[in-house]
């Protein structure tokens, strides 16, 4: 008898362990059927052409037997060497099947959307889980005892430590930047648009030492950009670099020189309305109101993000009051720039915001789905781990109800103007 799916409730948080416990028996049954049925030759042939997937499945088999953190595994296993007796064979088979099935499904999805004149977009993360497969398999490529982060800025006065190890620039070069190349090829097998998270990492990364403090470490910029662009060209894909925050001019110039789209975020550039430095979205960019690391429209417009930073101890009462005062001025400036009345509601302001994105010069315009129903909470709060339920909050509306969200019809109507031919003069 099927096990019921985990219940969905208002303000529900995703319990990854519970979801996996619910899905696992179904996936295990599907894996057994694939390995023992007509699909077996296809699965084995695919695995022969994807040795990294085989190695990953073997790693997961070892995780099931020895624990999630390979840094606590004994002897050679902790040095990246596994023997058949080290792994749970059933778990290994399950994860090999899952990799094969996901690859097939992504390929089918990419084919369907391309047939509609659309494309599949994926994201290449800036780093890897220190307890995960990549770092275990490529131990010599990573710098253990340091982590990647960001120096102090006006949002994070103590800086940020993102908790994953940096790649050693010269060891990467000695390998021909093999790991980056393999990651790019893996993503670009199906994606025709690839977002490069923290694209500054192709130029430099901020290494954080244990106990705090750190410094920037340079990487062979031209080599990494050349490799990245070559792999995208081979697949006919477009690259988007996330070049927000404290980014040196050399990175912006490299994006332009190599034909990589930049990232333009409305709420960040609106501050220029107050200080005379406003810059509209350039043509070679992807424009949006926010990113997954920033407040939603409702959170920003209401100042909920300021209160959240106060609750986290990042702002004292005086600083929070000053932030609210500055936000009030920014809202007034934004409403004037968008051509709405000073008394415009949040919904009217959002519609005008989408209109600016739609009518701007940026090559692509993106609207966050949760802004369609004015979700005030972000999916991720940078610099937090246990303090906030990052990437666990369930969307308030299921996918099938998105078209009924308050702002959907207006947003789609404004975005549709981008694809319509110009009318008669």
Q: Do the Cβ atoms of 323 and 315 come closer than 8 Å?
A: yes
Question: What is the pTM assigned to this prediction?
Answer: 0.91
Number of residues assigned to the chain: 425
Give the pLDDT band of residue 375 (cuts 50, 70, 90): very high
Q: Which tens digit of pLDDT belongs to each residue from 353-371? A: 999 999 999 999 999 999 9
The percent helix, strand, coil of the chain (3-state, each to 5) is 50, 10, 40
Query: Under 8 Å CB-to-CB from 76, ≥6 apart: which residues?
Result: none
Coil, strand or helix at 285: strand
Q: Do the Cβ atoms of 132 and 60 come closer than 8 Å?
A: no
User: CATH number for the 120-416 domain, one of 3.90.79.10, 3.30.565.10, 3.20.20.80, 3.30.450.30?
Assistant: 3.20.20.80
DSSP class of residue 294 equals S
Q: Which residue ranges make up each domain of the chain?
A: 25-118, 120-416
> In the structure encoding, which two tokens stand for residue 321, read together?
């009051």
Q: Do the Cβ atoms of 376 and 302 come closer than 8 Å?
A: yes
> In the structure encoding, which two tokens stand for residue 64, read together?
């099931």
- Measured CA to CA, the distance from residue 289 to residue 366 in angstroms comes to 8
Res 6 pLDDT > 70:
no
Q: Which tens digit of pLDDT belongs to each residue from 218-273? A: 999 999 999 999 999 999 999 999 999 889 999 999 999 999 999 999 999 998 99
Apex 154 CA angle, 150 and 157, nearest 5:
60
Q: Which tens digit of pLDDT belongs to each residue from 273-288? A: 988 878 899 999 999 9
Confidence at residue 277, expressed as pLDDT on a 0 to 100 scale: 79
Alpha helices in 87-166 (DSSP H): 89-115, 133-137
Res 382 pLDDT > 90:
no
What's the N-to-C CA distance of the chain in angstroms? 65
């Amino acid at each position: 008898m099927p096990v019921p799916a985990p219940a969905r409730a208002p303000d529900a948080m995703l319990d990854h362990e519970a979801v996996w416990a619910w899905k696992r028996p179904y996936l295990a049954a599907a894996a057994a059927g694939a390995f023992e049925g007509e699909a077996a030759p296809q699965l084995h042939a695919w695995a022969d052409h994807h040795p990294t997937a085989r190695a990953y499945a073997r790693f997961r088999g070892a995780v099931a037997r020895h624990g999630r953190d390979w840094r606590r595994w004994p002897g050679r296993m902790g040095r990246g060497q596994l023997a058949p007796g080290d792994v749970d064979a059933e778990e290994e088979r399950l994860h090999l099947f899952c990799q094969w099935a996901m690859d097939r499904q992504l390929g089918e999805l990419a084919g369907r959307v391309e047939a509609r004149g659309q494309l599949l977009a994926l994201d290449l993360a800036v780093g890897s889980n220190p307890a995960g497969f990549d770092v275990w398999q490529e131990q010599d490529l990573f710098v253990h005892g340091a982590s990647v982060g960001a120096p102090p800025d006006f949002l994070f006065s103590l800086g940020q430590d993102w908790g994953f190890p940096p790649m050693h620039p010269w060891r990467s070069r000695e390998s021909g930047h093999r790991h980056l190349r393999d990651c790019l090829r893996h993503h670009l097998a199906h994606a025709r648009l690839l977002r490069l998270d923290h694209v500054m990492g192709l130029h430099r990364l901020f290494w954080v030492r244990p106990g705090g403090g750190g410094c920037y470490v340079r990487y062979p910029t031209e080599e990494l950009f050349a490799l990245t662009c070559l792999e995208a060209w081979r697949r006919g894909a477009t690259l988007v670099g996330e070049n927000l925050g404290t980014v040196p001019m050399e990175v912006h110039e490299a994006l332009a020189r190599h034909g990589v789209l930049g990232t333009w975020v409305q709420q960040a550039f609106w501050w220029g309305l107050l200080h005379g430095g406003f810059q509209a979205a350039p043509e070679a960019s992807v424009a949006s109101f926010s990113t997954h690391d920033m407040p939603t429209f409702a959170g920003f417009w209401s100042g909920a993000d300021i209160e959240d930073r106060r609750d986290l101890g990042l702002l004292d009462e005086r600083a929070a009051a000053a932030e609210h005062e500055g936000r009030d001025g920014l809202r007034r400036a934004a409403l004037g720039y968008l051509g709405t009345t000073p008394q415009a509601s949040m919904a009217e302001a959002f519609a005008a915001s989408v209109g600016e994105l739609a009518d701007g010069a940026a090559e692509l315009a993106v609207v966050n789905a949760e802004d369609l129903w004015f979700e005030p909470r972000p999916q991720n709060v940078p610099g937090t781990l246990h303090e906030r339920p990052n990437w666990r909050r369930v969307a308030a509306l299921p996918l099938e109800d998105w078209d009924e969200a308050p702002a959907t019809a207006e947003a789609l109507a404004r975005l549709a103007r981008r694809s319509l031919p110009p009318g008669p003069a």
